[in-house]
Structure formats: structure tokens, C-alpha cells
């Protein structure tokens, strides 16, 4: 009798373990895309997000606009000053008044690659094989006491992200990646939370980021609105012409008085 009971417990234990052990990388990606409504996202032609951010020494607002195909603009405002970064589908440009520059200028190569990647409205893992992205199941790990699957995502460019998916909801609960800061690679941990449904799709309404070495201020982004298929003119993404120089005063080189 005791042997039968032990055998039954062993069978039950192996049965309970099957859902976690049997998942493949493709299955996890597929369940995540289904959970977030990625198929419906493919029908969205434009997207506008507004958010508040807190970066320790700086608090302000963020407006992000996206439009197919591959257009992206972010306006970051604090202390009544707005920085603009945009990608028009071919090239990236920016206006960074905090450095004393008020004319638009080209992005550096690293920022342009990032904006090019971020400009896609679709989930980055939709049809990932066609994009040359590889996905590897690293294993299972506890995140805040909950079971997660860890996937290693390697883009065609070689950029690597480690993403952790909740084993029950298949929503992303943690992501670790590297980004450039002052010319150096910095590893960052990102925590998306407060998922909310918008027209059949799920968006994380809060994202917390911090360098894994603990240096620098943590960043908190809280979404305020998510607007889909809003009218956005293409000119929003186009690099504006620099401001004309001030007119010279008659008979001299100095600008005319205002």
C-alpha cells in the first residue's frame, strides 16, 4: 500500500511538472504574442503614447508617436525644455537643447540603430525568424517568487536580450539588455508591470529600469494614454530645416536690433 502511494505521488509530481518542462522557445513566444494581442497590433497603422517619467534628478513627460512604415518620434520635456529624437524611416535626427543646440542634427550610428529597431509597431518577436532573430530557451527561473521562462533573444545585428516570461500569463516580467551610455556598454534591467488592455491588446502601463550594477538613477515610466490609429502627418517625422541666421543690420555685420 505504501509503495502504491509513493508511486502515485511520483506520477502526480511528474504530471504537475510537465507544463513547465514541456515548453519550447517557439511555444513561449507564441503564447506571449497571443497574450498581448500581437496579431491585432499588426492592424494598427499609427500609435501615440503619452507618459510621465521620473529619472531621479529629472521628472517630465514623454510623447511617443509611431506610424507605418517604420516612423518614430519621441518628445521628452522637463524644465519647460523639449528634446526631440525621430526616425523618418531612413535616417534619424534629433534636437538636444540641453546641450545648447537648437538646430536639428543627425543621430550617431548607435542611436539610429536603436530608433530603427524601435520604430516597428509590431511586436519585435512577430515573425522573428524572417527577421534573422534567433530565440533560445535558457531555462526556468524565479522572479519575485514566481516561475518564469528565460529566453535569450539574439537579433540579426547581434544585439542580445534576456527576457523572462511569467509561466502562467506568458507576459514579460523582466528584461536584461545592454545599451550605450557615455560611450560604454551598460547592462540594464527593465521591469514592465501594470498590464492593461487597450482595444484587445495588452500594454505595460509602468516600466522600471535600473543599471544592474546599481549605478545611476533608476528610471520610472508611467503611461497615461495609449491611442491607436490616430492621424499623424508624415511631416512630424521629417528633419526640419535649421533656423535661418539673424538678418544683418544695414551697412554692417551686426544683426538688426529687434
Q: What does each C-alpha distance from 226 to 48, 204, 230 come to in angstroms?
A: 6, 10, 10
pLDDT attached to residue 175: 98
3-class SS of residue 173: strand
For the segment(s) 10-237, the CATH number from 3.10.20.30, 3.60.120.10, 2.50.20.10, 3.40.50.720 is 2.50.20.10
Interval 101-142: pLDDT, tens? 889 999 998 889 889 999 999 999 999 999 999 999 999 999
Q: How confident is the model at residue 10 (pLDDT cuts 50, 70, 90)?
A: very low
Given a cut of 60, whether residue 147 has pLDDT beyond it is yes
pLDDT attached to residue 11: 33
Average of per-residue pLDDT across 172-192: 89
> What span, in angstroms and rounded, lies between the C-alpha atoms of 28 and 34?
10
> What span, in angstroms and rounded, lies between the C-alpha atoms of 109 and 98?
20
pLDDT attached to residue 78: 92
Share of the chain above pLDDT 90, in %: 71
Given a cut of 70, whether residue 76 has pLDDT beyond it is yes
3-class SS of residue 255: strand
Q: Where are the domains of the chain?
A: 10-237
Asked whether 100 and 94 are in contact (CB, 8 A), the reply is: no
pLDDT attached to residue 99: 84
Angle, alpha carbons 255-256-258 (nearest 5°) = 115
Amino acid at each position: 500500500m505504501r509503495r502504491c502511494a509513493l508511486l502515485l505521488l511520483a506520477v502526480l509530481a511528474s504530471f504537475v511538472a510537465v507544463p513547465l518542462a514541456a515548453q519550447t522557445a517557439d511555444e513561449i513566444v507564441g503564447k506571449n504574442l497571443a497574450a498581448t494581442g500581437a496579431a491585432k497590433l499588426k492592424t494598427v497603422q499609427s500609435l501615440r503614447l503619452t507618459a510621465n517619467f521620473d529619472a531621479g534628478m529629472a521628472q517630465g513627460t514623454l510623447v511617443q508617436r509611431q506610424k507605418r512604415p517604420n516612423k518614430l518620434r519621441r518628445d521628452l520635456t522637463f524644465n519647460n525644455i523639449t528634446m526631440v529624437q525621430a526616425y523618418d524611416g531612413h535616417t534619424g535626427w534629433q534636437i538636444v537643447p540641453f546641450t545648447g543646440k537648437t538646430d536639428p542634427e543627425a543621430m550617431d550610428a548607435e542611436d539610429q540603430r536603436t530608433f530603427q529597431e524601435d520604430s516597428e509597431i509590431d511586436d519585435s518577436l512577430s515573425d522573428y525568424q524572417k527577421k534573422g532573430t534567433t530565440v533560445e530557451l535558457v531555462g526556468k527561473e524565479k522572479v519575485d517568487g514566481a516561475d518564469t521562462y528565460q529566453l535569450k533573444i539574439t537579433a540579426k545585428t547581434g544585439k542580445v536580450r534576456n527576457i523572462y516570461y511569467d509561466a502562467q500569463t506568458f507576459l514579460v516580467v523582466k528584461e536584461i539588455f545592454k545599451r550605450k551610455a557615455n560611450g560604454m556598454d551598460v547592462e540594464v534591467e527593465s521591469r514592465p508591470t501594470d498590464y492593461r488592455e487597450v482595444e484587445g491588446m495588452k500594454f505595460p502601463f509602468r516600466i522600471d529600469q535600473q543599471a544592474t550594477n546599481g549605478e545611476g538613477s533608476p528610471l520610472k515610466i508611467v503611461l497615461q494614454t495609449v491611442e491607436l490609429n490616430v492621424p499623424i502627418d508624415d511631416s512630424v517625422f521629417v528633419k526640419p530645416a535649421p533656423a535661418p541666421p539673424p538678418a544683418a543690420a544695414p551697412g554692417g555685420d551686426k544683426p538688426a536690433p529687434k
